[in-house]
């Protein structure tokens, strides 16, 4: 987490503690994309993502108003951990149904995600993903953009991409390699500017 991020988070928490409704809205606007991204990756259900997001914001605002956030600088981690807890509670509530179908353990491991990834890491990964997508969009060749987007972002099957983009399966790896080289050149230029 950057120093400016912790300063902004602390200011938002102070505003919410002071009863500033605008600070609540600013917090939601600032963190809602990262929250939705993490939830969608864990549950793959847009309706459930919306429900858990709404409940997360209710709990986060309530806990901040009650001065229950010990480290205001770690607001993003608090939001993501609250969301993760809400998602786990949702699936535990439905545990009987899952056990009846024999899917309990499989769903629990799928939706709980990797235990080694902290909320800060998840947010950092999300921001890095956004930067990667931005760089892909800046590639000159439409075919490069589409190939990289479909293969790495959407994780589509190689044979599907070959069929739809008219790429010979034997040449796919070479075509992908050249796309990655052009991406790498652009990526290094972007990182140099930052």
Locate the domains of the chain by residue range: 3-114, 138-193
Which of 108 and 143 is assigned the larger pLDDT? 143
Q: Region 112-136: what's the mean pLDDT? A: 69
Mean pLDDT of the chain: 82
- Look at residue 2 in the predicted model and tell me its pLDDT: 61
For range 42-71, the mean pLDDT = 90
Helices 75-93 and 3-17 meet at what angle, rounded to 10? Answer: 70
Whole-number Å distance between alpha carbons of 58 and 81 = 14
Tell me which CATH code domain 3-114 carries.
1.10.1740
Quick check: 101 pLDDT over 50?
Answer: no
Helix (H) or strand (E) holding 5: helix 3-17
Question: 43: how many CB neighbours lie within 10 A of its CB?
Answer: 20
pTM of the complete model beyond 0.85: no
For residue 30, give every residue at least 6 positions away whose Cβ sits within 8 Å of its Cβ, in sequence order, or none.
8, 12
> Is 44's pLDDT higher than 60?
yes
- Tell me which long-range contacts 164-173 makes (C-beta under 8 A, separation of at least 24): none
Tell me how far the alpha carbon of residue 145 is from its chain's centroid. Answer: 21
**Average of per-residue pLDDT across 125-134:** 78
- The residue-averaged pLDDT of 32-39 equals 88
């Amino acid at each position: 987490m950057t120093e400016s991020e912790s300063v902004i988070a602390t200011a938002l928490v102070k505003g919410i503690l002071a009863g500033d409704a605008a600070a609540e809205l600013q917090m939601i606007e600032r963190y809602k994309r990262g929250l939705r991204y993490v939830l969608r990756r864990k549950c793959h259900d847009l309706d459930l993502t919306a429900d858990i997001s709404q409940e997360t914001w209710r709990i986060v605002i309530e806990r901040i108003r009650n001065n229950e956030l010990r480290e205001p600088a770690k607001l993003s981690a608090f939001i993501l951990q609250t969301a993760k807890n809400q998602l786990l509670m949702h699936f535990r509530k439905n545990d009987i149904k899952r056990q009846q179908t024999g899917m309990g353990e499989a769903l629990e491991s799928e939706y709980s995600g990797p235990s080694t990834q902290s909320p800060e890491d998840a947010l950092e990964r999300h921001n890095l993903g956004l930067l990667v997508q931005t760089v892909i969009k800046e590639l000159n060749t439409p075919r490069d953009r589409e190939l990289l987007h479909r293969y790495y972002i959407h994780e589509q099957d190689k044979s599907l991409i070959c069929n739809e983009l008219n790429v010979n399966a034997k040449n796919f790896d070479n075509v992908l390699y050249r796309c990655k080289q052009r991406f790498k050149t652009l990526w290094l230029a972007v990182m140099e500017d930052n």
